[in-house]
Structure 1
Amino acid sequence: EEWGFDGFVISDWIFGLRDAAESVRAGLDVEMPYRMIRHQALGDDPTSSGLSWEEIDACIVNVVSTCLRFADVIEADSPDPSILACSAHRSLAREVAGRSVVLLRNERVGDAPVLPLLTSGGQGALSIALFGSLADTINLGDGGSSDVWTPDPITICRGLRSRFGFEAVSYDLDPSPAVLTARAAAAEVAVVVVGYTFRDEGEFIGTTDMASLGSLFPGPDNEDEAEAFQAATRQLGPISPPEYHADREGTGFSEGGDRRSLRLPAAQVEMITQVASANPKTIVVIQAGSAVVISEWDHLVPCILQSWYGGVEAGNGLADVLTGDLNPSAKLPFSVPTIEEHLPEFDADADTATYGLWHGWWKLERDGHQAAYPFGFGLSYTRFSIEDPVLVQPVLVQEAEIATAAGSSELLGQVRCRVTNTGGVHGAEVVQLYGSRLGESTRPRLVGFARVELGPEESRVVELPIDRAALLEWDAGRGELVLRPGEYRLEVGRNAEDRFGPISMTCP
C-alpha cells in the first residue's frame, strides 16, 4: 500500500521462506519455483495452520487480477527467435561490457600510462603475453536461475586476438614457471586475468540436486498431453548444453553462494607476482561480481581493471577499453577495503546474520579507515576538474509533507557545478552528490549523480538532482520513512572519499 504496488509478490528461488502461514500473512503471494514449504506445511486444508480463507483469497486475487490486467501481453505472439543474439543485441552487449569496466589503476611506465595500448603507429600493442585460465574461459557468472545459454561467447583471449591479431597475443593455459617468466619478459605488455567463476560466487544447482527435487514439481494437468510431450522428447533425443556448461555436472549447492575469502587464490597471486617481476607493463584484469581485497599485490603492477562478468561480448568489450577505442568511465558500486578487518565480522557458517547501519564505506568512514578503492571510484584516460558547486532551485518542504513514501522520486532541488575535461582525449565523468543531515549517527549518502561526456578542454555546467528519497530516515515511532527537519550537508565529489563543498540546505 505504501509503495502503490498492485502486482503480486513472489519468493526467492528454492527454500526462499521458512514459515508457510506467516509468509501468507506477510503478503507473499507465490512461493517459487516449486511446491515446497507451503505444500508440506499447509497441505489440502490451509486453514488448519490458522490461516483464514480471506487471507488465502487475497493471494489468489493478486495473482489472477495481475494476469488478467496483462492478458494481452501474456497472449501476444512471442518475438521471432531470430532476434536472439542478433547483430543489434551483440553490439549492445559489447557496449555494456566495455562501459562497465572500472579502471582502478593506470600508472606511468616510462613516458606514459600503460593504458591505452598504443604503438608509435597507433595500431595497438606490438605483442601481448596473456596469462590465467580465465583468459580463455567462458565466464558468464551465475550458474543458477540467471544462467543463460548464449551462442558464441567471446572470451578475453578471443577478443584480444581479434583486435590485435592472432600472432600478436600469445597464450598458454598452464605454462611452467620458466616459460611464464620468459613469455612475460619477451612481450611488450603482459595481461593477467584473475578472479572467480560460478563455483566461487553465485548460485548453482547440479543435475543431481535437481533430480532430488523432482517430487516437488507439479504433476501434469492432462495425462494425454503429458504422454504426447514425453513421446516428443523421446523422439528428439538428448539435448546437449553448450560445451562450456559441460564441467558444471554434479557441483551442487555447496560450490555456489558466498565465497569465504575476499582475496584471490594463492596461485593467482603468485602468477601476478611472477609476471610483474618479468614485465614492467603488467595489466591485471579482475573477473568478479563483488569486492576483491588486492592490497597484498596491487602495488606490484601499474594497471588494474575490474571487468566483472562481461557477458557474451566480454572479450571484445575489454579490448575496446584496452585500446582506447572506449575511454573507461565506470565507477565502483562499493568500497574495496585494504584489509578484511575493516569490515563487519562475517561468519560464513552462521545460520543467521544481522546487518547494522554501519557497513561498507559508511563503516570505513566512521572508523577512520581509508578504502583502497572507494565507493564511486573509477579512473579515465583523461582528467576532469569540478568547480563552483552551488545550490539552485531549492524546494521548501512543509512540515505536513515530511513523511513520504519510500518510492518517492521527488526532488528537493539541484546542485549546479562546472565540469571541465582538462586532458587531451574525449571522455566521460560521473559527478556525484553526497548528502547527510547534521547530527549524531547520520551517514552521508549518494543523493544524486550525472554523467557528462566532454571533448578535450571542453567545459559544461552540470545539474545534480537532490533525490528526496535518498535522504529519508526510518522513524520507528511512526513506522515509516521520513525526511527529518534540520540542516543538511551537501558535497560534490568524484567518489565517496573525494568530496568537497560543503553546501548547506535546510528542510523546515
Structure 2
Amino acid sequence: MDLLPRKGITDDEIGGQVARIIELATLEEKIAMMSGHGFFEQIRESGGRLSAHPYRAGGGCERLTVPALYFTDGPRGVARGNSTCFPCTMARGAAFDVDLERRIGEVMGIEARAQGCNFSGAVCVNLLRHPAWGRAQETYGEDPWHLGEMGAALATGIQAHNVVATVKHFALNSIENARFKIDVRIDPRTLREVYLPHFKRILDAGCASVMSAYNKMNGEYCGQNRELLTDILRGEWGFDGFVHSDWVLGVYRAYAAAAGLDVENPEPIHFGAELLAAVKSGAIEPQVIDTACRRILTTLYRFASAEDPLDNYSIDLVASPAHRAIAHEAALKSAVMLKNHGALPFDKIEVRLVAVAGRLAIIANTGDNGSSRVWPPYVVTALDGLKDYLGDAKVVFAGDEGDSDAAAETAKAADAAVVVVGYTARDEGEFIPGDMSGDVRVEVPQKSIGGDRDNLGLSPDQIALIKTIAAANPRTVVIVIAGSPVLMNEWIDDVPAVMQTFYAGMEGGRALAKLLFGEVSPSGKLPFTVPASASDLPFFDRDAESIEYGPYHGYTLLEKSGIRPAFAFGYGQSYARFGYRALKARRSRAGIVVSVSVINLGEVAADEIVQIYVGFPGRMVDRPKKLLRGFKRVSLIPGETATLRFEVPLDSLRWYDASAKSWRLEPGTHTIYAGSSSRDDDLLRREITL
C-alpha cells in the first residue's frame, strides 16, 4: 500500500491521507511513530560522535510506506558531516540582523536536506537569565523581543527548504548542570511576559515543532507538564504542530502523552511498552495516541508534499563557497567593539608587524562540544587570519599564557599587539554527563564535558598575559572569545581597545583581520548586559534543586535597581559616529508607528543598529523601566541620513493579568525611546498617550 506523501497535494488531501494511515495502523505501529529509534546503536557505531548519522526522531511505518522524521542538531550549523560552521547563536544575536539570520537558516535547511535530514533542532531561544549559564552561546541574548525576532527568522529560513524546524527548549531552561533535576518556580505573569513570548513569536511565524526542556516547572517536568504543553501551547496559543522531548531523560512517565508530548526522543524508553500497556489498561485513552500521530504526520506530510525551492539538494552544496561567504558575513557583523581609545583601526603603513598572543589565537575554537558541535572542513584561527591578510612576514606569534614575560618581550618589538583570550568548551558549554543513556546503556567510554561557568572573568594567567603585553606595547588590542558576558574590571583600564568576537565560526580569523585593519567597521551590539559586578546579577546556583525565577534580569534588573552596568544591552562602538534626530510616534489602529532619522557623522561607511524601546505608565502594575520593541540594521556612507520606520504592535504593550487570565493594556502615557543602545545617554525620547 502506497501512502507516501506526494508533491503538490492539498491540505485536505493531506488530512485524508493522514486519517487513512491512522485508520490502518495498529496500536503498536502508531505508538512506534511516537518515538525515535536507533540512536544508541548509532552512537556506538560512531564511537560516541553525536549527529554522525541522521537520527530517526518520530513518524515512520514501513508496512504502510509512511516516512519518518530524520533529525540533525544545530544551532551553529548542521551537526552532520563537514557542514558550514557559523558564528555561535549569541554572536549572531549581536549582529541584530534578521535578514542575515533568515539566510543562515536557509543554508542550514539546504545542508540538512543534502545530508539526509528533514528535521532541525537549530532554533534555540532560551533566555539568558545569568551569564554563568553554560549553554548561553546557543541562544541570542537576554531580551525576549530580540529572541523572538531572531528565532523567527532562523526558523523561517530553515523551513523554506521543507525542513521541519523545532524551537527549544520549552521552557525555562537557563541553568545547565542541574537541568535534569532543577525545579523552576515561577508565577503565571512572569512566565508569560518574560520567559514565553519569544516562543510564541516563533510559533506564530510558522515554526512547526517544539522541543520540551529537561527541567521541571512548578513541580512537574516540562516534557510531561500539561500546563505548558496543552493549556498554554495548544489552548492559549492554538499551536497545531507536534511536541517532542529532548534527547534522553526528557520524559519520565507514559502519561506525558496525555499531557501533550507527541514524541519521545531518542528511543522508546517510556513511549514503548510502557505507553502500550497504559493504553491497553485504560490509563490513557486511545484518542491520545491518534491525536499525537495526527500532529506528527500532518506536519511531516505538509513539508514533504510542498514544492522545493531547489531542483536537488546535492552534497556539493554543503560548505559551498556561497555558504562560507555567509558565515564570513556573520563573523564581520557580530563582533562588538567595547573600547577603542585610538588603537583601532590599524593602518597597514603604520602597523608593519603585528604580534599575536594567547593560546586561543592558534586553536580552532568554534564553541562547545555538545549537541551543537559542527565539524567544518576548516577553521581560520586569529593567527592564520592575520597572516592570510598581511602575509607571514608581518605577523609573529609572540607566545601564550605559559610564559607571559617571553610573549611581552616579542610583542615589544611589534607595531601592535593582539591578545586573544576567553573560553573554550572546557570552560562553558552543554553539560553532557558520562552516561546519558537513561535506561539503555551506551557501550562507549564517555566523560562529562561542558557545563555552567564558575567564574565570570578571565583566568589569572590570561589576565597576566594581557597586563604584561599591554605594559610592553601601548597599542595592545584584546580579543575576547566567549558565549556570554565577561567581567573585565581587573584589566580593561590597562589596554586601549577591546573587541568581543564570541565563537566566530569557521571564517572568524579572516573576519577579524578585516575588522582590525578597518576594511569593515565593527557593528555588533551586545545582546546582553555586562554587569560591573557579579553581585548585580540574579541568584544563580548551578547545582540547585529548586530556584525561583522573578520578572527582572539583565537590563531590566539593573535599571530597576538603579545600577550602572559596565556595558549596557545594545551597546557597541564603531569606526564611524552616528547622530539621531526627528523621533516621531503616532497611534495607529494596530499600535504605535515610530520613525527616527540617523546620520553617519563619521569618515567611513558603517552599519548602525537602531533600537526602539517602550516605557510604560506603571500605575496599575509594576513594569520594567523600558523594554525593547524594535531594531533594524542600516548601512550608511559618510554624511548619509536614513529615516527608519517601526511598527510597535499594541499587543506587545500589554501585561498579563493572572487573576483574570487575560492580557490588559494600561491606559496612559507611554515613552518611546530610540537610539544606539539601552543607555539613557544614547536615547531620544517621545511621549505618547494610549
Give runs of aligned pairs for residues 198-213 of structure 1, distance below 5 A: 198-203=425-430, 205=432, 209=435
Corresponding residue for residue 252 of structure 1: 447
Structure with bigger gyration radius: 1
C-alpha separation in 1, matches of 2:640 and 2:253: 59
Corresponding residue for residue 183 of structure 1: 410
Corresponding residue for residue 130 of structure 1: 356
Corresponding residue for residue 442 of structure 1: 623
What residue identity is the alignment partner of 1:45?
Answer: A
Shift of 1:436: 2.3
- Assess if the C-alpha contact under 8 Å between 2:369 and 2:430 holds in 1: yes
Corresponding residue for residue 497 of structure 1: 679
Q: Please state whether the residue corresponding to 1:193 is helix, strand or coil.
A: strand
Q: Among residues 483, 486, 489, which one is paired with 1:292 in the alignment?
A: 486
C-alpha separation in 1, matches of 2:623 and 2:335: 32
Corresponding residue for residue 407 of structure 1: none
Give runs of aligned pairs for residues 422-437 of structure 1, distance below 5 A: 422-437=601-616
Q: Kindly provide the CA deviation profile for residues 50-104 of structure 1, in whole angstroms up to 9, marking residues without a partner as x.
A: 3322223221221122122222369998611111111111111111111110111
Shift of 1:20: 4.3
CA RMSD of aligned residues (A): 2.6
| Percent identical residues | 38
Corresponding residue for residue 478 of structure 1: 660
C-alpha separation in 2, matches of 1:263 and 1:49: 56
Give runs of aligned pairs for residues 45-194 of structure 1, distance below 5 A: 45-46=278-279, 50-72=283-305, 79-107=313-341, 113-120=342-349, 125-174=351-400, 176-194=403-421
Corresponding residue for residue 301 of structure 1: 495
Give runs of aligned pairs for residues 274-293 of structure 1, distance below 5 A: 274-293=468-487
Q: Which structure 2 segments of 5+ residues have no match? A: 1-233
State which drifts further: 477-486 or 417-426: 477-486
Corresponding residue for residue 215 of structure 1: 440
C-alpha separation in 2, matches of 1:288 and 1:193: 11
What residue identity is the alignment partner of 1:308?
Answer: F
- Assess if the C-alpha contact under 8 Å between 1:132 and 1:193 holds in 2: yes
Measured at CA, do residues 190 and 250 of structure 1 come closer, stay the same or move farther in structure 2, by a change above 3 Å?
farther
Q: Among residues 553, 556, 580, which one is paired with 1:359 in the alignment?
A: 553
- Assess if the C-alpha contact under 8 Å between 2:398 and 2:406 holds in 1: no
Q: Please state whether the residue corresponding to 2:356 is helix, strand or coil.
A: strand
Corresponding residue for residue 378 of structure 1: 572
Q: How many residues align?
A: 449
State which drifts further: 131-140 or 348-357: 348-357
Q: Kindly provide the CA deviation profile for residues 117-165 of structure 1, in whole angstroms up to 9, marking residues without a partner as x.
A: 11447xxx31111111111111111312221111011111111110111
- Assess if the C-alpha contact under 8 Å between 1:98 and 1:328 holds in 2: yes
Q: Please state whether the residue corresponding to 2:547 is helix, strand or coil.
A: coil
C-alpha separation in 1, matches of 2:281 and 2:467: 64
Q: Kindly provide the CA deviation profile for residues 389-412 of structure 1, in whole angstroms up to 9, marking residues without a partner as x.
A: 1114x214xxxxxxxxxxxxxx51
What residue identity is the alignment partner of 1:28?
Answer: L
C-alpha separation in 1, matches of 2:654 and 2:251: 29
Give runs of aligned pairs for residues 26-45 of structure 1, distance below 5 A: 26-36=259-269, 38-39=271-272, 42=275, 44-45=277-278
TM-score, normalised with respect to structure 2: 0.61
Q: Which structure 1 segments of 5+ residues have no match? A: 108-112, 218-248, 397-410
Shift of 1:45: 3.2
What residue identity is the alignment partner of 1:280?
Answer: P
TM-score, normalised with respect to structure 1: 0.82
State which drifts further: 261-270 or 150-159: 261-270
- Assess if the C-alpha contact under 8 Å between 1:450 and 1:463 holds in 2: no
Q: Please state whether the residue corresponding to 1:270 is helix, strand or coil.
A: helix
C-alpha separation in 2, matches of 1:426 and 1:197: 33
Shift of 1:172: 4.9
C-alpha separation in 2, matches of 1:271 and 1:56: 60
Q: Kindly provide the CA deviation profile for residues 324-376 of structure 1, in whole angstroms up to 9, marking residues without a partner as x.
A: 11111111111000100000111121023221101111111111110101000
C-alpha separation in 2, matches of 1:460 and 1:475: 39
Corresponding residue for residue 228 of structure 2: none
Corresponding residue for residue 24 of structure 1: 257
Q: Among residues 381, 391, 395, which one is paired with 2:588 in the alignment?
A: 395
- Assess if the C-alpha contact under 8 Å between 1:438 and 1:488 holds in 2: yes
What residue identity is the alignment partner of 1:325?
Answer: E
Q: Please state whether the residue corresponding to 2:246 is helix, strand or coil.
A: strand
What residue identity is the alignment partner of 2:440?
Answer: S
C-alpha separation in 1, matches of 2:246 and 2:549: 19
Q: Please state whether the residue corresponding to 2:440 is helix, strand or coil.
A: helix
C-alpha separation in 2, matches of 1:368 and 1:65: 51
Measured at CA, do residues 83 and 179 of structure 1 come closer, stay the same or move farther in structure 2, by a change above 3 Å?
same
Corresponding residue for residue 91 of structure 2: none
